[in-house]
Amino acid sequence: VLVAPASANVIGKIANGIADDMLTTTVMACPCKKIVSPAMNHNMYHNPIVQDNIEKLKHFGYEIITPATGMLANGDIGDGRMPEESVLFEAVVKEIACEKDLAGKKVLISAGATREPIDPVRFITNHSSGKMGYALARAAMHRGAEVTVVAAHTDVEPPLFVNVVPVQTAAEMYDAIVSRAQDYDFVIKAAAVADYTPAVTADNKIKKKDGDMSIPLVRTKDILKALGENKRPGQILCGFSMETENVLENSRKKLESKHCDMICANSLKSAGAGFGTDTNIVTLITKNSEESLELMSKEQVAHKILDKLLAIVQP
């Protein structure tokens, strides 16, 4: 049951067991999950009595959708605006889209393309859009997991109901992931991280001159290797391998050298796979198996990846 918009009056009735109309009677009689979207005047929403009633609903297992901030019915600007319909829809989908086979699990995912600054104007990056990482985050969230995404630059909006940690550089991503990894059951490295970064970042824009120019580069820290070397017992580590040749051979070497449980390998030369697309073609490589998937949407690929990782935990 989704109650949207939920007025202070309705919230107060339900929180205190009053069922004197069709809505409150229906809500009281339903044993299913209940989602409430408060929508009202800013001051009314922040009234301690209303906030206490909202906390009561949370105590009894109701999910509360945080109101949006914006123009309210009385012309004021503030909290209390009902969120967009897409937000309400996603709240319902989160509950009903999938079996919650990841309930109680914590999933850490990296997504997007890091940017390594040359000067205040220029940077080194790659073509990753972040679509695969965000598809994994959405799929894991739909399956009941608590999801955190460490996101570098992306071309798409992050999914709702996941925690997003924004970063820019490979060094920032290393710190954000390694400092959190021990608390997670699954770590999936889907980001495209720069292997090299400028040795020195100029404070001012580097001006164009006659002749050629070279930029000294230094190696960035290997995030996947650090995760593999410090993996806690029971933790599942999954990496990605984007190749242009010898895909399976190079990916299996990566699986072993980085101490991963699985590598998702794909070729940049395969039509429908690679950067920026809504589809992908991957091969899931574990110590004892290789499973090649057909062309499918990145959402479908994400669920196949999660299925395989769960099979490693529960063979």
Alpha-carbon gap, residue 211 to 134, rounded angstroms: 42
pLDDT tens, position by position, 75-84: 888 899 999 9
What's the angle, vertex CA 69, arms to CA 67 and CA 11, rounded to 5? 25
pLDDT of residue 315: 66
The reply to whether omega before 5 is within 30° of 0 (cis) is yes
DSSP letter for 301, please.
Answer: H
43 part of the active site:
no
Confidence of residue 275 (pLDDT cuts 50, 70, 90): confident
pLDDT of residue 264: 96
Whether 299 has a pLDDT exceeding 70, the answer reads yes
Alpha-carbon gap, residue 183 to 31, rounded angstroms: 33
Percent of the chain with pLDDT over 70: 100
pLDDT of residue 222: 97
Percent of the chain with pLDDT over 90: 88
Look over the chain and give the mean of its residue pLDDT values, rounded to a whole number.
95
pLDDT of residue 269: 79
Residues of the chain with CATH 3.40.50.1950: 2-96
Whether 35 has a pLDDT exceeding 90, the answer reads yes
Confidence of residue 243 (pLDDT cuts 50, 70, 90): confident
pLDDT of residue 230: 96
Catalytic residue, candidates 43, 47, 74, 126? 126
| Contact predicate 224/259, CB 8 Å | no
pLDDT tens, position by position, 19-31: 999 999 999 999 9
Residue 256 CB-density burial (10 A; 0-12 exposed, 13-18 middle, 19+ buried): exposed
Whether 201 has a pLDDT exceeding 90, the answer reads yes
Whether 131 has a pLDDT exceeding 80, the answer reads yes
What lies within 8 Å, CB to CB, of 61 at 6+ separation is 33, 34
pTM: 0.91
Q: In terms of pLDDT, which residue wins out, 268 or 119? A: 119
DSSP letter for 287, please.
Answer: S
pLDDT tens, position by position, 244-269: 889 899 999 999 999 999 999 988 77
- Average pLDDT value for residue range 185-206: 96
Mapped onto helix, strand or coil, the DSSP state of residue 57 is helix
pLDDT tens, position by position, 91-116: 999 999 999 999 999 999 999 999 99
Copy the structure tokens of residue 10. 């309705």
Residue 248 CB-density burial (10 A; 0-12 exposed, 13-18 middle, 19+ buried): middle
Answer whether CATH 3.40.50.1950 is correct for domain 2-96. yes
Residues of the chain with CATH 3.40.50.10300: 106-313
Q: Number of helices (H) and strands (E), helices first, in the chain?
A: 10, 19
| Contact predicate 133/111, CB 8 Å | yes
Answer whether CATH 3.40.50.10300 is correct for domain 106-313. yes
Which of 225, 267, 223, 270 is CA-nearest to residue 246?
A: 267
pLDDT of residue 78: 87
- Average pLDDT value for residue range 120-140: 96
Alpha-carbon gap, residue 249 to 283, rounded angstroms: 12
Alpha-carbon gap, residue 15 to 55, rounded angstroms: 9
